[in-house]
Amino acid sequence: MINDKKVIIVLPAYNAEKTLEKTYKEIPFEFVDEIIIVDDASVDNTVEVARKIGIKHIIKHEKNKGYGGNQKTCYDAALNLGADIVIMLHPDYQYTPKLIPAMVSIIANDLYPVVFASRILGNGALKGGMPLYKYIFNRLLTLTENILIGQKLSEYHTGYRAFSKEVLNKINYKANSDDFVFDNQIISQIFYAGFQIAEVTCPTKYFEEASSINFRRSMKYGMGVLKTSICHFLQKKGLAKFRIYEIK
C-alpha cells in the first residue's frame, strides 16, 4: 500500500507467454498489493506461465471477448478485490513497469485521479521504434480529439494507465465497446465526468513480440476514435445523449 491505498495491477493478456515473465519481473512489488491477469482465450501458454511465476489471481475467458471486453473483466475484478488504485499494464513488455511508483504516487497523494504513461512526451516515440505511419496517425487523432473534447493530452492512445477507484466507480465503462476503441471511450467518459488526467513520460519499445494492431484494424480504430470525439462534443453541447456518458 501507499498512503493506506490498496494498489492492484491488472494485466489484460492475449498470447503473452513470451513476454509475461519479463514484464512481471520488473514490477516493483513494494508498491503493489495484488496482481490480476485476465487471459482472453489465448491460444498459447499464457495461463501456464502466469501460474509458474506465481500470479494468484488468474481469470481465463473461454471465448475471446476483445481488448475492451478484457478490460471490463480486469476492472470489475480489481474493484471486487477492494482496489483503491488500479493500474492497467500490458503484459507484452511494451511499457516498463518501472513507472508504477511514479504513477501510483500521483494518485495516492491526491494530485490527480488518473495517470497515463505517454509515449509522445519527450520525443522518444520514433526513436523507440514506433512505425512512422502510427506516429502520424497518433498525432493527427490526438490533435482532433483535443479540439473536439477541449483538452490538451499529449496522447490518447497509450495502453498504460492508472485509475483511482472513484473514477472507475463513477463512469459507465461497461457500456463501452469490447474492441480497441474502448480505450478512447473511457478517456472521453473520464473528462465528461469532470476528472482530470496527468501524464508521465514513458519510453517506447516496439519489437516482434509486442502486441500491435495491423493497418486495417488501425483504420477501424481511428474511425471509432473520431466517432467518440464527435459524440463527446455533441453530448457536451446538449445536442445529443449517449449511454456511455451516464454517470453511475
Instruction: Give pLDDT tens digits for 158-211.
Output: 999 999 999 999 999 999 999 999 999 999 999 999 999 999 999 877 766 555
Q: Is the dihedral of CA 46, 213, 181, 170 positive or negative?
A: positive
Size (the chain), residues: 248
Flag whether pLDDT at 109 surpasses 90: yes
- Do the beta carbons of residue 216 and residue 223 sit within 8 Å? no
Helices of type H across the chain: 20-25, 46-53, 66-80, 100-108, 132-149, 165-170, 182-192, 215-236
The SS3 call for residue 94 is coil
Mean pLDDT for the stretch of residues 202-225: 77
The SS3 call for residue 37 is strand
Quickly count: other Cβ atoms within 10 Å of residue 62's Cβ: 6
Mean model confidence pLDDT for the chain: 94
Q: What is the rounded distance in angstroms from the CA atom of residue 247 to the CA atom of residue 169?
A: 9
List the domain boundaries for the chain.
7-245
Instruction: Give pLDDT tens digits for 25-63.
Output: 999 999 999 999 999 999 999 999 999 999 999 999 999
> 7-245 has which CATH code?
3.90.550.10
Instruction: Give pLDDT tens digits for 119-137.
Output: 998 777 887 788 888 889 8
Nearest of 178, 208, 190 to residue 149 by alpha carbon: 190
Q: 174 is written with which cell numbers? A: 461497461
Residue 207 is predicted with a pLDDT of 61
Q: What is the DSSP letter of 59?
A: E
Residue 127 is predicted with a pLDDT of 78
